[in-house]
Structures are given as C-alpha cells and as structure tokens.
Amino acid sequence: MIERMKRITVFCQKEKALSVVLSLRELGLVHIKDMAQKSVESENKERDKSIVLKALGNLESYVDKKNPLPEKTLTQEDVLLTSKSIVSLMEEEQKTVDRVRVLRNEADRIRSWGDFDPNEIKELSKMGINLHFYLVTKKDLKALSEDSSVTFVNVKNENGSAVAVIGDPLKKDYQLSEFTLPSKSLGELESEALIGEKRVEEIREIFRSSTSYISSLNLWLKNEEEVILLDKVNATVSDDEGISYITGYVPLSSMDSFKSWAKENSVGYISDDPGEDENPPTKLNHKGFVRIIQPLFDMLGLVPGYREKDISRYFLMFMTLFFAMIIGDAGYGLLLVLLAAALNIKSKKCSDLNALIYVFGGATVVWGAITGTWFGSQTIIENVGFLRMLVIPGLTNFPEAFSMNSINVQDNMMTLCFSIGTIHLSLACVICIFDKIKQKDLSFIADFGWMLNTNLLYLLVLYLVVDTPVPFTLIVVGIIIGFVLVCLFSEMAPDKPFGQGMKESLGGFFTNFIDTISCFSNVMSYIRLFAVGLASLAIAQSFNGMAEGLLSGFALPFGILVLIIGHAVNLVMGFLSIVVHGVRLNIMEFSGQVGVEWSGYKYEPFKKKVLK
C-alpha cells in the first residue's frame, strides 16, 4: 500500500539552523520538499566530484581482475589531489597518443623515400636551387625527357620511379602530385614516436599502480555526495525575521518518532495533511510476498503517484504469467531457477530479486511443461514419458506429437490469450468500481460500462478471430448500453452536482467513442503473448536444426557451441520482449484502465548513508 504522508515544517532560531539540519539528517525520516538543486558550495563540490568520477572510471579499466593490487588508503584531502593528477595524466596520454599517431603516419608516408634530411633540401632552396619531387611512371618519365623546359634528375624510391624537378614545379598538364617535404627526417620521426610510446606506457603503468586507490575514491565519492546533499538542504532552509524553517514530508507511521525527536531537540514544527494541489513523495509499503516486485519497479523506474492506487500485487501476479508465456520454455525457466539458486548460495540469503527470479523461473517451468516445450525440442517431449504426462494437449506447441489438430490448438491458445486480457482489464474495472463505491462516487457506473464493453468486445474478438459462435445482436445491444453508461457517468464525482457531472460526461462523447474502439484493440493486443512465445519457439527450433547435423563425431563441440549460443541469444531476446510486451500490458492497458499513470517520485528521506 501507499503510506500516507504528513507535511511538516520545522522551525528554529537562525543561529541553530545548521545544528537542526544535521540532527534532521541523523533522524533520517524527513523527505525535504522543493530542495534546492544547487548552491555555490555544491556547484564547486560537483566539479570536484566530476574529476574524481573521471579518474575512477579510468582506473577501473586498468584493474587486473585475476591479480588485483592490494588496497591502499588515501586521506580525503589526498583523493582530490591524486584524482587531479590522474586526470592530468589522462589528458597527457591522449595528446601523446594522438602525437604518436601523427608521427607514425608521417613516417609511413615518407618511408619509401628513405631517411634524408629535409633541412638539406631547404638549404639548397636558399641557394636558389629549388627541388620538387614526384612519383612517375615510365610514360611520365618519357614525357619529361622530351620536354626541354623541364630539368630533372632520377631519385631512388621503393614504390617506383621518382624524379626531382629542378626549378619551377611541373605544370598541371602532367597531373602528377608533388611530394610534400616532411618537417623532420624519417629517423627523427621514428625516434620521437618511440619516446612518445614509452611515455604512454609509463603513464599507463601509473594508472595500473593507482588502481589500489579505487576503494578510497569510492568512499570519497559517497562522502562527497552527502556533503553536497547537506549543502543543498542548507540552501533550502528559508529565513524570516531571525527564524529559519524548512518543509518536508514524514510518513504518518513515523510521526511518533519525529515528535519525539522534536521534543528532545526543543524544535518547533507544524504538521498538516498535504493539500490537493501538492504532490508528496510515494512510499510503497509492500506486505508479505508482494515486496519482491519492488526490484522490478526500481529497474523500470516505476513509482505510482501519491494519490494513485497501489496495484503491486496485481502487477506481480500478471507479470509472472506474462513472463512465463513470453519466455515460454521450461528449459529456460529451469536455467533461471538454477541462476537464482546460485545467487542465493553465493549471497547466503534470498534477496527480493532472488525471490523474483525464482518466481519467474518457476512459472516459466510450469508453463513450458504444460505446453511441452523444453529447449524448443520436440524430441524431448516425444521420448520422456514423465514430461509428456505434464502436457495439456489442447495447448501444446507440438500438436502432431499428441495427434492434435494444429489449427484447433492455435485457436485454443489465442482464446486463452484473449481471455487473460479480458480478465486483466475487467479486474481493473472491478478495482475502480469498489474504490468509487467506498467514496460514494457515481462514476463507478461508467467503470461498470467499461467492464461490460470489455467482456462483450471479447466475445466479438472471438467471433472475428477464432470464429466462435456468439449472440451477435446481444453483443451490439450490450455495447451500446455500456457506451451510454460511460457517456452519462464518466465525469461524476462525490463533490460534483449530479446535473453538472452528467453535462460534463456528455461533453466527452467523442472521446468516449474513440476509447470504446480502443477497448477492442486493448483486448486484441493480448495476442502478443501467443505471438511472441511462438516466435521464441521458432528461433529455438531453428538453432536446434542448425546444430542437429553437428552433434556427432569431430563436429560435436561445434554443435554444442551452436546450441549454447543460439539458446542464449533467444533467452536474451525473450528478456527484451518481456520489457516491450509484458511490461507494456501492465503499465499501459491495465494501469490505464485503473487510472494509474505512474506519475510519482520515490520517498527519499534526508539521512546519513556513509558510516565513518
């Protein structure tokens, strides 16, 4: 459930403001309202933080995971100095690498001309002897020999004939590119490049040896984040005639602790319920098993608004089903269960994320067993009697193995998907109906209309897609009744006169008409559970077919490799499909019907996180 919040304003004498703020941090219960995003102090610290982050990111790339260096401790003051030094070396390294690249390219360009001193040619130019160098073919050489206006001499070049033209450069008629003299000789270029490469290696060795400071840098960052946060909170404190005050939110369940703190510290405060125009933070207080959905919410960044409904239990229930149907393979589910077990053993405790993987993996095993899908192999289900007994023939992915008509099985699967969608959307309507009845809100009648339309459109979908006989006239009449209920009661509210509510509801006639059409597409959209699962099966079967001819003789290792890579790719694609399709059905179709827009932000109390 979403915990109720109290808005509190803490006030004290101006000279005590800092000590009160520090005490609030120790209390760790108040989510600061409208916190300043920056201050002069925090901006300077953010710059220092970015330097340390840059240094840390660089050092982490030099860690030898097999033979890590023993940790060394830096003082908080030395961390910034060391980080600045590392960042400076990073800039020097990049400049040196770029310089070496230029030197090497220039050396490669002139290599075929040999190691000569370009200064000697420049000296000749000062004496009035101008030389211009060209690569030439035999045809060019003949043409130059016949041109009395050109004086040249042959010079050695490894890539072919070359000439040095004395005097003016050749006319454009010859279409020859003049060789540009380098600023330095080949030997000098290569010598400078070697010096640069040596310096780069010296810098990188410094980076490798500095990896022992990574822990100190991480600790500094955590401390600095707290200092920056403290600066922002101090900047948020307002002053008025010698009184300092700051406003925030405290969970109702924690108010007794807050009151005790205020009494102990002789701090004044004002407490009130948040106004309707306020948007307090959301604190989800999951009870029992439902809490395992929180890691998924965190990964997706989903936070319901403070005044929205908590649909966590329904999200978990249907997300588990969607996960199982989209992944669809009991073999993959078994791998997930084993992964969860390995993480469990490693951490010596079952975290919420671990439990979520157990649930998702276990559900996938059950669904895969029902459909007879084990690593996409029909051979397994045909030859393992125990697994065959677990299959529901009417839902199997291998109907021929059970003497079933594939069209009938496909229709059964699509009917199941549409049924799940209808139950999902109808549940959303039921949640709204019961909530609004408690609030004496007549718009619950509109939700009843939506539920009626959803179920009748479900029958229409079965008629159009699966060719199921339905009472067509009754469906049309029912949809009209549901639509009328929506048009008459959708804008009703407890504090709104009946006539005004009906007038506003009728004003949304066109919108409701479009939404009714969308209701049909919402039911239809659950077909993705079948389609994506079928695509995953096809990919698994393709890789099985590719490996089949390699699973014998000397090719056996290659066949096993194809199976491992193929099924790994398929599983990863399945995870992506979960996000694209499974999550969408929950946060778009279902949440939209319930009225949850996930418009909230997380309750994050001001508290000390780093214990020194």
Pairing label, strands 161-166, 151-155: antiparallel
Q: Rounded distance, CA 306 to CA 312, Å?
A: 14
Neighbouring CB atoms inside 10 A of 75's CB total 11
Q: Are 529 and 325 in contact (CB under 8 A)?
A: yes
Residue whose C-alpha is closest to residue 241's, from 477, 506, 517, 13:
13
Give domain status of residue 339, yes or no: no
Q: Is the pLDDT of residue 70 over 70?
A: yes
Is residue 204 situated within a structural domain?
yes
- Where are the strands (E) in 5-99, listed by range? 5-13, 31-32
Instruction: Say how far apart CA 54 and CA 271 lie, in whole Å.
Output: 43
Joined tokens for residue 453: 């339309």
Tell me, yes or no, whether 497 and 572 share the same domain: yes
Q: 171: which 2 tokens? A: 């006319």
Give me the number of domains the chain comprises.
3
What is residue 160's predicted lDDT score, i.e. its pLDDT?
64
Residues 314-345 have pLDDT tens digits of 999 999 999 999 999 999 999 999 999 999 99
Q: Do 198 and 100 have their domain in common?
A: yes
pLDDT of 169: 87
| Domain presence at residue 383 | no
**Interatomic CA distance for residues 551 and 553, integer angstroms:** 7
List, in sequence order, every residue forming a beta bridge with 272; answer none if it has no partner: 7
> From the CB of residue 116, how many other CB atoms can be counted at a distance below 10 Å?
15
Is the CA virtual torsion 466, 471, 473, 474 positive or negative?
negative
Q: Please give the helix or strand (H or E) that residue 112 lies within, else none.
A: none
Q: Are residue 487 and residue 472 in the same domain, yes or no?
A: yes
On whether residue 16 sits in a domain, the answer given is: no
What pLDDT shows up at residue 550? 80
More confident residue, 602 or 42: 602
The DSSP bridge partners found for residue 64 are: none
Residue 161, strand partner residues: 136
Do 222 and 202 have their domain in common?
Answer: yes
pLDDT value for 596: 92
258 phi/psi in degrees, rounded to 5: -65, -45
- Tell me the average pLDDT across 523-540: 92
> Mean pLDDT, to the nearest integer, of 199-217?
95
CATH number at residue 176: 3.30.70
DSSP string, 301-327: T----TTS---HHHHHHHHHHHHHHHH
Are 53 and 135 part of one and the same domain?
no
Write the CB contacts of 366 (distance below 8 Å, at least 6 apart in sequence). Answer: 324, 330, 333
Does the pLDDT value for residue 612 go beyond 60?
Answer: no
Same domain assignment for residues 466 and 575: yes
Q: Are residues 101 and 202 located together in one domain of the fold?
A: yes
Same domain, 222 and 293: no
Lookup: tokens for 178: 């003049």
Residues 429 and 553 in one domain: yes
Q: Give domain status of residue 168, yes or no.
A: yes
Block residue for tokens 């309507």: 429
| Stated pTM of the model | 0.80
- Quote the tokens at residue 309: 């409904």
Q: What is the mean pLDDT of the chain?
A: 91
How far apart, in whole angstroms, are the C-alpha atoms of residue 199 and residue 3? Answer: 60
The reply to whether 474 falls in a domain is: yes
Which residue shows structure tokens 């207080």? 285
Give Cα separations from 607 to 28, 29, 41, 69 (angstroms).
Answer: 4, 7, 19, 34
Based on the domain organization, do 222 and 128 belong to the same domain?
Answer: no
State residue 552's pLDDT score.
Answer: 78
Percent of the chain with pLDDT over 90: 64
d(CA 213, CA 446): 63
The domain boundary, picked from 141, 161, 184, lies at: 184
What span, in angstroms and rounded, lies between the C-alpha atoms of 559 and 496?
A: 70
Task: Please report, for residues 135, 153, 180, the alpha-carbon distance to residue 162 in angstroms, rounded to integers and kept in the order given.
Answer: 4, 9, 13
Q: What Å distances lie between residue 443 and 432, 436, 449, 496, 588, CA to CA?
A: 9, 7, 10, 11, 21
Q: Which residues contact 7 (CB under 8 A, 6 or more apart)?
A: 33, 247, 248, 249, 271, 272, 273, 274, 275, 278, 280
Packing angle, helices 255-264 and 17-27, rounded to 10: 140
d(CA 400, CA 396): 9
State whether residue 346 is helix, strand or coil: helix
Query: Contact at 8 Å (CB) between 54 and 90?
Result: yes
Residue 198 in domain:
yes
State pLDDT tens for residues 561-599. 999 999 999 999 999 999 889 999 999 899 999 999 999
Beta strands in 102-224 (DSSP E): 131-136, 151-155, 161-166, 178-179
Query: pLDDT band at residue 242, thresholds of 50, 70 and 90?
Result: confident
Query: Could you report how far apart the first and last alpha carbons of the chain are, in Å?
Result: 35
pLDDT band, very low/low/confident/very high, at 41 (cuts 50, 70, 90): confident
CA dist 489 and 482 (Å) reads 11
C-beta of residue 293 within 8 angstroms of C-beta of residue 356 = yes
In the DSSP assignment, the letter for residue 279 is -
Question: What's residue 610's pLDDT?
Answer: 64
527 and 432, same structural domain? yes
How many Å apart are CA 158 and CA 93, to the nearest integer? 34
54 with 149, same domain?
no
Cα separation, 428 vs 418, in Å, equals: 15
At residue 23, the pLDDT reads 94
Q: Would you state the structure tokens that stand for residue 209, as one six-digit string?
A: 């040896």
Q: Is the dihedral of CA 296, 302, 307, 308 positive or negative?
A: negative
Q: Tell me, what's the pLDDT at 85?
A: 96
DSSP 170: P
DSSP 8-state code for residue 553: G
| Under 8 Å between Cβ of 260 and 48 | no
Query: Does pLDDT of 518 surpass 70?
Result: yes
Q: What DSSP line would sit under 71-83, residue for residue?
A: P----HHHHHHHH
Token readout for 437 is: 């009845």
Q: Which of 212-216, 429-433, 554-558 has the lowest mean pLDDT?
A: 554-558
Domain of 83? 21-108+188-241+252-268
395 within domain boundaries: no
